[in-house]
Structure 1
C-alpha cells in the first residue's frame, strides 16, 4: 500500500507539489486566523483598489477544511493527466503545470468579469462584495478539458463515476449543495476557461511567454505590496545610525508609504 502511494507521488510530481502547497497555505491561514477578507477574490478590492494579487492568493487558499479535502480529492484524481504523456495525447508534468497556471490566472480574470457584468452592468450590487476562495476554478477547468479529450468517466469526490462530459456541471451542482458558501461564479469561470483552453484560445501562450508574464506579474505584485506598505523589506544596503532596526538582525526595516521612504 505504502509503495503504491509512493509510486503515484513519483508519477504525479506536479500534482503532489500543488497538493502540498494547498495544505501548507491552509495550515498557515488557520494558524494565523486569516479569513476570506484577507485572501479572497473580491471585485471591489481587486478592481477598485487594484489588489490584483488576490487572483492568486484566493485560488491557493482554503478557509474551510471540508472545502480543502474535496479539492484535494478531486485534484489527485485529475493527476492522471501527468501520466498521459504519449499515444499522441497531450499530457505530462510540463503540460499539466502550464495549463494549470493558465486556468489559475484567467479563471480569476473571468470571475472578475462576471462580477463586473452582474454588479456594474446589471446593477446587482451584491456581486461587488462577494468573496471567493479555493482551487476549485482550476479543478473545474481541468474537468472541462478532460471532458473534451475522450476520457470516458470520472470519479466525482470519490462518490460516483459519471460520464466525463457531465462531470463539470454535476460537480458544480454537487458542490453548491454540500458547501453552500462555495462560489458558483468562481466554479463557472473555471469551466468557461476550460472550454477556452480546448478551443485553442491560449495556444499562442507558449511556456516562455507564460513564464515571462508570470514573472512580470510577480514583480508588479511585490512592487504594489511594498508601495502600499503591505510588505516590509530588510534594507541590507543601509546600516542603522540610531540603533533602530530589526531586533534580531539589527538591520533597519524600510517601507514605502504613500510614495515616501520610511525607515524604522
Structure 2
C-alpha cells in the first residue's frame, strides 16, 4: 500500500460542499459512484499499492513497456486536490445529463469504461504520431493522470445537444475553444489528452463507431440508448 493518505484537502472539501449544494439525490448513481470513488482514491481511503505517478499514462509505458493497466487507472488518479475538484464538478453536470436522458445507469457505466480506454489509447496514438513527426522524445515520455480526456468526450456530446437546441449559436465549437483556452491558461494541462477526448466524442457522434458502441451496450445491458434523441434535443 502506498503512503498516499492525504485526507480531506481543500479541493476534496470544496467538492463535498458543491455536491451537497447540488443535492446527492439529484446526482444519478453511476455519476455519484464515479465521483466518490475518485475522491476516495485521491484521499487515500481506498488502499492501493501504487502512487499516482506510478500509473500515469505515457506512450513509452504502453507501447514499449506494455503496461496496459495504465490505460484505465491513470484516468482515475489526479495530480492535486484542485485538479480533482474541477474535473469532478465538470463531470457531475455532464454525467447526470447523459446518465439520465441518454444512456441509463447500466449503459452509462459501460460507456464510461469504454470511453476511458478509447481516450487513453487515442492519447497514446496521438503522442506516437507527434513523436514521428517532430522527433521530440518528450511525446514519448510525457506522463498524464486525470479524468479530463473522458470529460472532454462527454462535453462533446452535451455540446452537440446544446447546439441542436439552440441552432443559432456556435455551441458546436465550444469544446475547441475550451481546448485552446485551458491549454493557454492552465499550466501543466494535457493538450493532447483533452484533444484525444474530443476526437473520441466526435467519432462517437459522426462515425459508425457510435452505432457499434451502442450495439455493444444494448447487447450487454439489454437496455436502449437514446443517442439521436438526446443529441438532437428531443429528450
TM range (shorter): 0.7 to 0.9
The match for 2:186 is: 179
The match for 2:225 is: none
What value does the CA root-mean-square deviation take over the aligned residues? 2.9
Q: How does 1:1-264 map to 2 (within 5 A)?
A: 5-9=23-27, 12-28=28-44, 34-36=51-53, 38-78=54-94, 79-84=96-101, 90-150=102-162, 152=165, 164-199=171-206, 200-205=208-213, 206-207=216-217
Secondary structure class of the residue paired with 1:131? coil
Cα 1:2–1:39 shift into 2, 3 Å:
closer
Deviation of 1:131 after TM superposition, in Å, equals 0.6
Deviation of 1:150 after TM superposition, in Å, equals 4.3
Deviation of 1:99 after TM superposition, in Å, equals 2.3
Deviation of 1:3 after TM superposition, in Å, equals 9.3
Whole-Å separation in 2 of the counterparts to 1:67 and 1:3? 20
Cα 1:123–1:47 shift into 2, 3 Å:
same
Deviation of 1:45 after TM superposition, in Å, equals 1.4
Secondary structure class of the residue paired with 1:132? coil
Deviation of 1:124 after TM superposition, in Å, equals 1.9
Question: How many residue pairs align between the two structures?
Answer: 195
- Structure 1 spans left out of the alignment, 5+ residues: 85-89, 154-161, 212-264
- Structure 2 spans left out of the alignment, 5+ residues: 1-18, 222-235
Deviation of 1:148 after TM superposition, in Å, equals 2.1
Secondary structure class of the residue paired with 1:41? coil
Deviation of 1:34 after TM superposition, in Å, equals 2.6
The structure with the larger Rg is 1
Deviation of 1:121 after TM superposition, in Å, equals 4.6
Report the TM-score, using the length of structure 1 for normalisation. Answer: 0.65
Using CA pairs under 8 Å that are at least 6 residues apart, name the structure with larger relative contact order, 1 or 2. 2
Q: Which has the higher helix share?
A: 2
Whole-Å separation in 1 of the counterparts to 2:21 and 2:42? 27
Report the TM-score, using the length of structure 2 for normalisation. Answer: 0.73
Contact 1:29 1:35 in 2 (8 A): no
Decide which moves more: 47-56 or 99-108: 99-108
